[in-house]
Amino acid sequence: MQKIIYILTLLSLSFTISAQNSDKIKMNKFVDDLLNKMTLEEKIGQTVLYTSGYDVITGPTVDPNYKEYLKKGMVGGIFNGVGADYTRSLQKIAVEETRLGIPLLFGYDVIHGYKTIFPMPLAESCSWDLDAIENSARIASKEATAEGINWIFAPMVDIARDARWGRIVEGAGEDVYWGSLVAAARIRGIQGKDLKDRERAMACVKHFAAYGASMAGRDYNTVDVSLVELWNTYLPPFKAALYAGSATIMTAFNDLNGIPATANKYLLKDILIDKWKFDGFVVSDYTSVNEMIPHGYARDEKHSAELSMNAGLDMDMQGGVFMKYLKELIAEGKVLEKDVTLAARKILIKKYELGLFEDPYRYSDSKREKTDIMTAEHKEAARDMARKSFVLLKNDNQVLPLTSGKKIALIGPMIKDKREIIGSWSAMGDRTNVPVSIYEGMVEAVGEHNLLYAKGCDIESDDTSGFEEAVKTASQADIVVVSVGEFHNMTGENNSRAGLDLPGVQLQLLKKLKETGKPIVMVLMSGRPMTITWENAHLDAILDVWFPGTMGGAAIADVLTGKYNPSGKLTVTFPQVVGQIPLFYNHKSTGRPFDASTNYGSRYWDVSNDPLYPFGYGLSYTTFEYADMKLSSETITKNSPLKISVKVSNTGKYDGEEVVQLYTRDVIGSITRPVKELKGYSKIFLKAGESRIVDFTLTVDDLRFYNADLEYVYEIGDFSVFVGGNSQKTLEGKFTLK
Ligand code: NOJ
């Protein structure tokens, strides 16, 4: 019987494989036949992407004549244009008015939700919940495809260790291991299993590569990182996203070790094609081809087109230079026609896989537009994701959760806000009515009669005229919840900050409120770690809610009132002061690590090396204790993995979730290694008083890294292993790799 099942399984597997092969043969034939019919201009046209001017423009508009080009079949895709009717109208031109009727791609930046806005990506990463992250991307993709979008410019997977960099908001933080898992989850969410699924778009992982290492945290700035650093820190999330199936990839604005990423053969050919066998297409960032001129790398636009096409770029976003110069460059023998054909082919393959040749209007569905957006399910998912992403940074004397029956003063510029709450890059999210403000969330949760309100001040101005009323209001309450933070547009593209304190007079307001002697809970809204050292020292509780999205106010009320016990853990380090940046948990030891007993350990004169809050940190309303760490062996070998177990107990009064984290340290390496590296985690739920043994398994593959010759190796020698509730407070064990 077993034999028969085995044979049947083999047969059905071989049927599936041969069906897949025949689909592939059919697709290749279709695309090659089409390419044979195409003129050189039409092939070049496929490599051209223009912004429509319909929606926010995310850079300078180079050519407003895109519609004219479109009619001539010289445009392969349009971005920044949404809506079933609008995309249908442009698609109609492409399909009905051009010689070969090749359908368009429609791209859009759907970064954390489309209309139902989810927490900003950095916040989502603090949930340590890959299913929820994948679901958030799925919903975003579903809503965007209902409005004609078939190509999403996300996820951003740039590792970021500099909170000054505004785009830190778009990633998954500072860690390579976690960043790679999140990258893959987001690709799965955006694309699903099959690009033909009408409810999923094609993803575009960005920005290749090392954009997050912009010097001094200033956007677009130079990047200079060693190859070892590139391979160990910046590339893994890209590899994870591509191996999870990302159909496309976007180059970065920056240069990398002297060569702009957009014309960087090492990145685009040696790594993407030769090493990773990527068969999707590569799009530039917005005019990043043209920007090689100010970079001092291309002489003029024509040269920039030559350099980038020859380096392996397939599509020019908004630069217009492929359209203008490729034909001439081919005639001059500076670019090979076969390379342009190959680029067009890769793009056409994706259009085929999306099903656009079968039905070019499949994403412009005015029915779905009405039914699939902002549904109750989507809003509930956004609320849940928001609660999961909040990080409780401080909670002295258990002032949180708020006890019922108390008078609560709600103070601060964020309390009634409906714009900042959805954050930057919030696509088509409603910015006025729909988002639930903190005030509305709290009214719903505790009733208006229990609330007092005063704005106190603006986010950024010198005006202190609201302080008096704020202090008066606070004095009448039992507890003060004050919500302060950044403007949404202090983060995101080109929104770097040199200082990370609260803007304007918000800190002054906090100091005034402190004088009332009332317990103060700060609800911090920001797109990045902030230097909240005074706040940490003087306020009773701090809840970081990031930019929580459409349902933010409801989610905040859930957590403040204890309906939901917070469990988020930081995926970025909070510095005490900006001068410590870049500050990240997985740094190297140095030859003179800090040692209080000598003057010659690496240190600052005026501040300790410690972060304000470390990576992995986050409190709960309950408490967890770690004990009995056990290793299955003193050694690990290729054939014998190591098991690590630890007893985690909920020692507080509330049921709650804990993110149990596992780190290792490779003590001596052929290159110096980080003091700690995350290698595993487990998010567990424990009832008050409950204990559980949490198990991890480490294999030698988990201990690999890129050595000085860029070989991905593990090395024999001693290791430490750490388990704990954050990157600093851990139990430690030791083992040897043999
Ligand atoms: C520039 C940004 O860097 C990129 O992330 C975005 O996708 C494009 N503009 C398109 O809006």
Give the C-alpha separation, 664 to 705, whole Å.
Answer: 12
- Read off the pLDDT of residues 389-443 as tens digits, 9 standing for 90 and up: 999 999 999 999 999 899 999 999 999 999 999 999 998 999 888 999 999 999 9
| Closest ligand 1 atom to Cα of 204 | 7
Indicate the pairing of strand 635-636 with strand 730-737. Answer: parallel
Give the model's pLDDT for residue 21. 86
Q: What residue type is 203 in one-letter code? A: A
Ligand 1 pocket: which of 52, 80, 108, 109 to mutate (most atoms <8 Å of CB)?
109
Give the model's pLDDT for residue 170. 98
Buried b (16+ CB within 10 A) or exposed e, 183-199: bbbbbbbbbbeebeebb
Q: Tell me, letter by letter, the H, E, C secondary structure of 216-252.
A: HHCCCCCECCCHHHHHHHHCHHHHHHHHCCCCEEEEC
Element (H, E) at 49: strand 48-51
Ligand 1 pocket: which of 49, 54, 55, 285 to mutate (most atoms <8 Å of CB)?
285
Whether domain 384-580 has CATH 3.20.20.70: the reply is no
Give the model's pLDDT for residue 67. 77
Give the C-alpha separation, 603 to 362, whole Å.
Answer: 60
pLDDT along the chain (738 residues), means of 10: 61 66 94 98 96 62 72 92 93 96 97 98 98 98 97 98 98 98 98 97 98 98 98 98 98 98 98 98 98 98 98 97 97 98 98 98 95 97 98 98 95 98 93 94 98 98 98 98 97 97 98 98 98 98 98 98 98 98 98 93 96 98 98 98 98 98 98 98 98 98 98 98 97 98
Going from N- to C-terminal start, the domains of the chain cover 1-33, 46-369, 384-580, 624-737
Average pLDDT, the chain: 96
Give the C-alpha separation, 219 to 494, whole Å.
Answer: 5
| Residue 285, ligand 1, Cβ within 6 A | yes
- Ligand 1 centroid–CA 58 distance in Å is 7
- Residue 418, CB half-sphere, CA atoms under 13 Å: how many? 12
| Residue 109, ligand 1, Cβ within 6 A | yes
Give the C-alpha separation, 123 to 528, whole Å.
Answer: 9
289 Cα distance to chain centroid? 24
| Residue 124, ligand 1, Cβ within 6 A | no
Q: What residue type is 266 in one-letter code? A: Y
Residue 262: CB atoms within 10 A of its CB come to 36
Q: Using the 8-state DSSP alphabet, how is residue 634 labeled?
A: S
* Class of the CATH domain delimited by 624-737: mainly beta
- Ligand 1 centroid–CA 586 distance in Å is 29
Token pair listed for 638: 């290729």
Give the model's pLDDT for residue 12. 63
| Closest ligand 1 atom to Cα of 156 | 5
Q: Residue 451 forms beta bridges with which residues?
A: 408
pTM for this structure? 0.96
Say if residue 535 is exposed, middle or buried (CB neighbours under 10 Å; 0-12, 13-18, 19+). Answer: buried
Give the C-alpha separation, 38 to 348, whole Å.
Answer: 12
Give the model's pLDDT for residue 359. 97
Q: What residue type is 254 in one-letter code? A: N
- Ligand 1 centroid–CA 60 distance in Å is 12
- Read off the pLDDT of residues 106-145 as tens digits, 9 standing for 90 and up: 999 999 999 999 999 999 999 999 999 999 999 999 999 9
Ligand 1 pocket: which of 250, 254, 425, 426 to mutate (most atoms <8 Å of CB)?
250
**Catalytic site includes residue 285:** yes
Give the model's pLDDT for residue 470. 98
| Residue 58, ligand 1, Cβ within 6 A | yes
Give the C-alpha separation, 639 to 637, whole Å.
Answer: 5
Whether domain 46-369 has CATH 3.20.20.300: the reply is yes
